[in-house]
Amino acid sequence: MTLQTGYELPAAAVRRLESLVSAIERNPGRMVDPVELAALQERVDMRPAFAALPETLSEDDFVGVLKLALLTECATDSYAAVIEDRASRYQAGWLGRFTRDTWVPDERMHHAPYRTMLERAGIAAEELDREIEETQTRTYIHHSGDTPIHITAFGMVQEYLTDHWHGRIAQLLRQSSPEAAAMANQIKRRETIHTIWYRDMTALQLEANPRLMRHVAEAVAHFRMPGSVLVPELEAQVPRWLPALGTDFERLTSELIRHIHAMAGDTADAARLLLTIAEERGLKVGPLPAGLVSRALNRLGGPGYGLLGEAVLQRVGLGYLFEAEQRAAGPGSERARVGRVRALVRNWLADQIDIRLEPA
């Protein structure tokens, strides 16, 4: 696999990214409060939680779920070292500053709730100390490209999936251990805002240089969760654990596509990006290879991307996004004439498309 490295941004775009990071620094939102967290930790009782586990999730499995959260979150410095190295390599001071001054201090709080949950579940502190040390001393190898836009696109997907993981834990604990659920929800809220930060950073770069779309597609297509490197024995269980945790895969897919649509800027560009991701992964659109569909649409001059984008959004329940774009553009006589035909073709395309995030 050879990833693209022709990364460049105009000076104006760099200034916009610097301004975005400055705005985040001024108002990072409500971070995890150590005092509030400590108060919750004091009251955590995990015995009811283990007694109320669904039949599909054993006690050992749930310990594994919590350990995966603990160990991937405790490796913040490993991720930061990789990101800061890439930021320095590409002279992306905004990315290095964001990572060092905002992201790292925020993330360093995220493993603590899971250590408390595991200790209250009867896991020895010595065992957790050993596993944390082993994880922190492993070398994190990044597989999703090195340019700043590779990093921010990867960050968007990683934070989004981590947000989902913490959310499923919180939902599972909501009735049986409300203090533990509250702690998991505190972490989830931070991962939600991290997703948006990385999405907006990626959007600014893509807007300034549309040729970087291939970089974004590479980052998403070749994405691997950090746990696959740092705790592979636990990460390998995730496809089995996700259904047991109640993951709604259609909703998971829909929300990720909504972020991609926002990052791309409009429906046509979102379709270009999704098709490029599919091409990178060697996937098909209906019976046709994605690369063939992409080449055909390019020969048509681009309008077909808008139709394909509408079909994708309709397929995952996000039709309101392109409908809003069309209302903003005004009715127009041409739109009125072709609307019915367009809807027929869009419906057919939507039926051919199968885009789902499923456990591997």
Report pLDDT for 1.
Answer: 38
Residue ranges per structural domain of the chain: 11-247, 266-352
> Could you tell me if 102 and 24 are in contact, meaning their C-beta atoms sit under 8 angstroms apart?
yes
What SS3 state is found at 313?
Answer: helix
Rounded distance, CA 297 to CA 189, Å?
39
Helices and strands per DSSP (H, E), number in the chain? 21, 2
pTM attached to this predicted model: 0.89
313, 322 in Cβ contact below 8 A? yes
Which pLDDT does position 52 carry in this prediction? Answer: 95
Residue 100: DSSP 8-state: I
Q: Which amino acid is located at 189 in the chain?
A: R
Q: What is the pLDDT along the chain (360 residues), one digit of tens a residue?
A: 344 568 999 999 999 999 999 999 999 999 888 999 999 999 999 999 999 999 999 999 999 999 999 999 999 999 999 999 999 999 999 999 999 999 999 999 999 999 999 999 999 999 999 999 999 999 999 989 999 999 999 999 999 999 999 999 999 999 999 999 999 999 999 999 999 999 999 999 999 999 999 999 999 999 999 999 999 999 999 999 999 999 999 899 999 999 999 999 888 888 888 888 888 888 777 777 777 778 777 776 566 777 788 878 888 788 777 776 666 555 554 555 556 666 777 777 777 777 665 554
Q: What are residue 6's phi and psi, to 5 degrees?
A: -75, 70
**251 token code pair:** 């909703």
CA-closest candidate to residue 113, choices 164, 59, 173: 173
Structural contact between residues 233 and 135, judged by C-beta atoms closer than 8 angstroms? no
**Options 3.20.20.70, 1.10.620.20, 1.50.10.10, 3.40.47.10; which CATH number does 11-247 get?**
1.10.620.20
Give the CA distances from residue 312 to residues 93, 260, 307, 346, in Å, rounded to whole numbers and listed in that order: 36, 12, 9, 9
Q: What is the pLDDT of residue 160?
A: 97
Distance set, CA 299 to CA 31, 184, 288, 292 (Å): 49, 49, 16, 11
In whole angstroms, what is the distance from residue 346 CA to residue 352 CA?
10
Residue 77, both tokens: 């410095």
Q: Is 284 helix (H, G, I), strand (E, B) or coil?
A: strand
288 strand-pairing partners:
285
- The strand pair at 288-289 and 284-285 is best described as antiparallel
Look at residue 289 and give its three-state secondary structure.
strand
Contact 309, 348 (CB under 8 A): no
